[in-house]
C-alpha cells in the first residue's frame, strides 16, 4: 500500500462546459476531506479563479444538499486558458492573448496548496497536463456529456445527457405517429456519436447518424421509403451534431474566435430534414435538443459515478500520485497519466457492440 502523505490544503475547480454530476464530485471530495482535517479551496469559474485569485473555502455546509443539483456551485468557463487567455483591447476592440500560467503557479503557491483537483474534459485535462510540467500537483476528474474522453470507459454527465435525449425521442414518437411524419432529432456529442447511438438505440430510433459513419442520403431516404411501403407511416431519425455526409464536411453553426474550442457545430439536423423531405416527399420536422442535454439533475448512475470519481481523486492526492486522471476501467476505479488524455478524442469504434446490435435489429446507420 502506498504511503499516505500529509495533506493540509487542496484546491478544486470545475472547467469547460457544465454537466450534471459536477456538484456530486465536489461533494465527494469536500465531505471526506473535511473529516480528515484537510482544508478545501474552491476556485470560481474554472481556471479563471486561479488566474485572477477568485476562490472560497469549502466546508460541509457548502456541499450539503448539492448531490442532486445540476451545474456547479463553483461556476465554470470554457473560454479561460491560462496559457492563452483572451483579452479585448478597450480602444480597438481587437482580441489579444497572454500567457498567465505563471499567475496560476503564484496563486497555487501563495495559498500553500498541496494539490489541485481539476474536473473537466479534454481541454481541461490538456491545461492540467501543462500545469503539471510547471510543477503543480494535479489530479484530474473526467467530465463531459459527450463521453469522448480518452482513457476512461465512461465520463460522468454522459448518462444524464443520454437519458434526456432518450426521453425526447420517446416524446417525438407520439407526434410522429399522430401526424405520419419523419421526425429528425439532432443531439450533441461534438465529433463522437456516443449520445446519438445510445439514445437512438434506447429510444427506438429507425435511423441513427453518427460522425464515425459518414452517411449516404440515398440510404437514409431508402430506409424512410421502405418503412412507408410497409405501412409504417413515420420514421425517427437521430443525428449527432458532428455527423456529415459522405464526401461532405461538417455543418458549423458559428466560429467563436476567442474560445479554446472555436468551432460550434450545429445545423446538420436541418440539412438532413430538408434533404429527406425533398427526396421522399414526406413531411419532415426537425428538433435540435441543444443545451437541454447539459442541464437538470444528474441520473442516479451519474451521481454514483461522480461520487466514486471524487473519492478516487482524493485518494490519489493522499497517496501523492499526481499528474494522473481518475478513470473507470472495466467497472473499477483506476488512473491514467494526464499527458495521455488531453487533445485526443474517444470516438465510437466501428466494431462497437451497440453498432452491431443496431444493425441486427434493422436500424439504418446511413451507410
Q: Known catalytic residues? A: 146
Using CB atoms within 10 A of its CB, is residue 266 exposed (0-12), middle (13-18) or buried (19+)?
middle
Inter-axis angle of helices 158-179 and 300-318, nearest 10? 160
What is the Cα–Cα distance from 182 to 277, expressed in whole angstroms? 8
Strand extents, DSSP E, the chain:
9-14, 39-43, 55-58, 85-88, 95-98, 115-120, 138-142, 182-187, 207-209, 235-240, 252-255, 263-265, 284-288, 324-329, 332-337
Residues sharing a CB contact under 8 Å with residue 326, sequence separation 6 or more, in sequence order: 139, 140, 141, 142, 309, 312, 313, 316, 333, 334, 335
Q: How far is CA 180 from the centre of its chain?
A: 34
Distance of CA 170 to the CA centre of its chain: 23
Cβ atoms of 340 and 151 within 8 Å: the answer is: yes
Q: Per the structure block, which three cell numbers stand in for 183? A: 421526425
Phi–psi pair at 359, nearest 5 degrees: -65, -40
Q: HSE, CB side, 13 Å, CA atoms: give it for residue 66.
A: 24
Structural contact between residues 334 and 326, judged by C-beta atoms closer than 8 angstroms: yes
Distance CA 329, CA 1 (A): 20
Amino acid at each position: 500500500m502506498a504511503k499516505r502523505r500529509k495533506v493540509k490544503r487542496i484546491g478544486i475547480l470545475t472547467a469547460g462546459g457544465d454537466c450534471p454530476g459536477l456538484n456530486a464530485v465536489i461533494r465527494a471530495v469536500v465531505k471526506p476531506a473535511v473529516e480528515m482535517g484537510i482544508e478545501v479551496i474552491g476556485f470560481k469559474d474554472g481556471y479563471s479563479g486561479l488566474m485572477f485569485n477568485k476562490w472560497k473555502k469549502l466546508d460541509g455546509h457548502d456541499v450539503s444538499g448539492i448531490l442532486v443539483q445540476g451545474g456547479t456551485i463553483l461556476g465554470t468557463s470554457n473560454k479561460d486558458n491560462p496559457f492563452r487567455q483572451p483579452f479585448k483591447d478597450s480602444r480597438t476592440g481587437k482580441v489579444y492573448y497572454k500567457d498567465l500560467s505563471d499567475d496560476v503557479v503564484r496563486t497555487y503557491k501563495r495559498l500553500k496548496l498541496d494539490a489541485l483537483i481539476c474536473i473537466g474534459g479534454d481541454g481541461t485535462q490538456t491545461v492540467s497536463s501543462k500545469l503539471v510540467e510547471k510543477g503543480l500537483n494535479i489530479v484530474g476528474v473526467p467530465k463531459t456529456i459527450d463521453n469522448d474522453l480518452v482513457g476512461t470507459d465512461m465520463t460522468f454527465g454522459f448518462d444524464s445527457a443520454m437519458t434526456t435525449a432518450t426521453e425526447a425521442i420517446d416524446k417525438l414518437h407520439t407526434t410522429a405517429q399522430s401526424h405520419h411524419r419523419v421526425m429528425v432529432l439532432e443531439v450533441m456529442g461534438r465529433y463522437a456519436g456516443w449520445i446519438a447511438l445510445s439514445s437512438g438505440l434506447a429510444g427506438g430510433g429507425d435511423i441513427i447518424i453518427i460522425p464515425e459513419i459518414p452517411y449516404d442520403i440515398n440510404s437514409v431516404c431508402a430506409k424512410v421509403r421502405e418503412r412507408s411501403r410497409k405501412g409504417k407511416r413515420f420514421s425517427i431519425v437521430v443525428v449527432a451534431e458532428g455527423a456529415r455526409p459522405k464526401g461532405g464536411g461538417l455543418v458549423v453553426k458559428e466560429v467563436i474566435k476567442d474560445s479554446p474550442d472555436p468551432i460550434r457545430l450545429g445545423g446538420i439536423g436541418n440539412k438532413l430534414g430538408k434533404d429527406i423531405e425533398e427526396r421522399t416527399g414526406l413531411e419532415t420536422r426537425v428538433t435540435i435538443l441543444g443545451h437541454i442535454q447539459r442541464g437538470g439533475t444528474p441520473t442516479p448512475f451519474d451521481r454514483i459515478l461522480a461520487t466514486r470519481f471524487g473519492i478516487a481523486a482524493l485518494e490519489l492526492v493522499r497517496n501523492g500520485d499526481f499528474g494522473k486522471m481518475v478513470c473507470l476501467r472495466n467497472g473499477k476505479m483506476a488512473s491514467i497519466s494526464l499527458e495521455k488524455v488531453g487533445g485526443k478524442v474517444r470516438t465510437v469504434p466501428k466494431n462497437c457492440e451497440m453498432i452491431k446490435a443496431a444493425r441486427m435489429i434493422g436500424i439504418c446507420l446511413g451507410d
